[in-house]
Amino acid sequence: MTSSATPKFSVFTPSHRPRFLDECLATLQAQTRSDWEWIVLLNNGARWRPEQPDARVRVEITDSITGVGAVKARACELARGEILVELDHDDLLAKDCLAEVGKAFEENPEAVFVYSHTAQITEEGKRDDSRFNEAHGWRYEEVDVDGHRLLQAISMAPTPHNVSYIWYAPNHVRAFRKDAYEQVGGYDATRTVLDDQDLMCRLFQIGDFHLIPRCLYLQRIHANNTQRDPEVNTHIQRETIALYDKYVEANALAWTKRRGLLALDLGAAHRKPPGYLGVDQYPGDGVDIVATLPGRLDLPDDSVGLLRAVDFLEHVPAKIPLINELYRLLAPGGMLLTLTPSSDGRGAYQDPTHVAYYNENSFWYYTDNQYRAFVPEIDARFQSSRLVTYYPTDWHSRNNISYVLANLIAMKDGAQRCGGLLLV
């Protein structure tokens, strides 16, 4: 391929530490597809040139650009290829990585994002056997990659829960269509961490993610990895939750619509959001289904992908029949998003129409087999996606009106693997 030819793939790599860039280039030059360009953005004073010139390599000095989001946005702005591929400055690609990515996009035209399994290597490029906690859904297996025996991590499925948390989100290789990237507004140039989580959530809302079940990426683990800095890691953990809270409902709604499932807003006479069918016991604006829960709704089993229950659970006295009916409606992997005045504060008791009371512990009986065993009437089996008590506003805090947020995933046959503690 000549430098004037339009590449299929634009691989981009910001770097403030060019030590491994020659290895990165070698892994690109070894690809079974040659129709790529490599955009290297050097910042923080880093300088590098390939030892052997390659017309496909484009190096730009970006010392004046601060923040990883801004640097990646600049890289994608320069990209000429229709498929953008992220390669960190210390990582390596399997030889057929680009070929497999291209094939995946060709065979899955609805996919906007493609990713793979990954394996870790040491600073010296040797096999790394460290693992994440398998109790949180991680799985590992031996694999041969270009003649090397490695331990690959089996990537999680692209569920709303997994995409919303960077801990479980699609890992490298990460590749996305340039037109989809531009449609969602690209990288957030203001972000200093979690630029990938933010972008993936927005991409997930417009199209499918596709997993290539092969190890195509080798991730180097060493002391200079970003997450190894305690202060930075603390910021990442805090921001991960903030992004989850920002995007999980929209992610779940997009997942629901792509699968032809229903999204129901319970108690819809109050503030029904777009995209939902409203359920309420009385007719009114925003009410599409008039029904009194926990009575059985005239909908098939497994027909709902998302249930929104905001300021609702406390109005239904029969708690177990209610949760059982919501579970019946949900498809495998569907989500129940709840927000309820907590009995840890005054809000649960102050309203005379409140007849059921919840706090964080109330949801243990639906997510933990040790507690479910005490209540054999419970059919529902959920995995906790997020469980927290907080004050929605300063006004709620001043008046001691705390809320419990419980986001739950329906664990039925066919539900895809989600990160986090399963029923125990």
pLDDT tens-digit series, residues 52-90: 889 999 999 999 999 999 999 999 999 999 999 999 999
95 confidence band (pLDDT: 50, 70, 90): very high
Q: Could you report the per-residue pLDDT of 311-339, keeping only the tens digit for each?
A: 999 999 999 999 999 999 999 999 999 99
In a domain, 134, yes or no: yes
The band of 234, judged by pLDDT with boundaries at 50, 70 and 90, is confident
| Domain's final residue, options 212, 245, 278 | 245
Kindly give the residue spans of alpha helices, DSSP state H, lying in 205-354.
Answer: 230-258, 319-329, 347-350
Task: Provide the mean pLDDT of the chain.
Answer: 95
Residue 396's alpha-carbon distances to 336, 378, 401, 407, in angstroms, are 24, 32, 5, 21
> Does residue 420 form part of some domain?
no
pLDDT at 222: 79
Q: Are 237 and 298 in a shared domain?
A: no
Residue 81 in domain: yes
Q: Say if CB 78 and CB 58 are below 8 A apart.
A: yes
pLDDT of residue 2: 46
% of the chain with per-residue pLDDT over 70: 97
CATH number at residue 379: 3.40.50.150
What pTM value is reported for the model? 0.94
Does the structure show a pLDDT above 60 at 180?
yes
Q: 417 in a domain, yes or no?
A: no
Q: Contact at 8 Å (CB) between 59 and 89?
A: no
DSSP structure string for 356-400: --B-GGGGHHHH-HHHHTT-TT----EEEEEEEEE-SSHHHHHTT
Q: Are residues 128 and 214 in the same domain?
A: yes
Does the pLDDT at position 421 exceed 50?
yes
Q: Which domain holds residue 327?
A: 259-410
pLDDT of residue 315: 97
Q: Are residues 46 and 154 in the same domain?
A: yes
What is the structure's pLDDT at 23?
A: 95
Whether residue 73 sits in one domain with residue 39: yes
CA distance 400 to 420: 30
pLDDT at 3 over 60: no
Q: 358-417: per-residue pLDDT in tens?
A: 999 999 999 999 999 999 999 999 999 999 999 999 999 999 999 999 999 999 999 999
Q: What is the reported pLDDT for 223?
A: 73
Does residue 230 sit in the same domain as residue 266?
no
Query: Which two tokens mark 122?
Result: 């040491």
Is 220 inside a domain boundary? yes
Residue 153 belongs to domain with CATH number: 3.90.550.10
Give the model's pLDDT for residue 270.
73
Same-domain pairing of 239 and 264:
no
In a domain, 40, yes or no: yes
165 and 140 within one domain: yes
Q: What is the mean pLDDT of residues 262-288?
A: 93
Q: Given this model, what pLDDT does residue 225 score? A: 58
Q: How many domains does the chain have?
A: 2
Q: Is residue 331 located within the same domain as residue 375? A: yes
Q: Does residue 223 sit in the same domain as residue 322?
A: no
The verdict on 64 and 187 lying in the same domain is yes
Give domain status of residue 265, yes or no: yes
| Residue in the block written with tokens 């409902």 | 249
Distant-in-sequence, close-in-space partners of 367: CB < 8 Å, separation ≥ 6: 382, 383, 384, 408, 423
Contacts of 303 (CB under 8 A, 6+ apart): 261, 262, 329, 331
pLDDT value, residue 1? 45
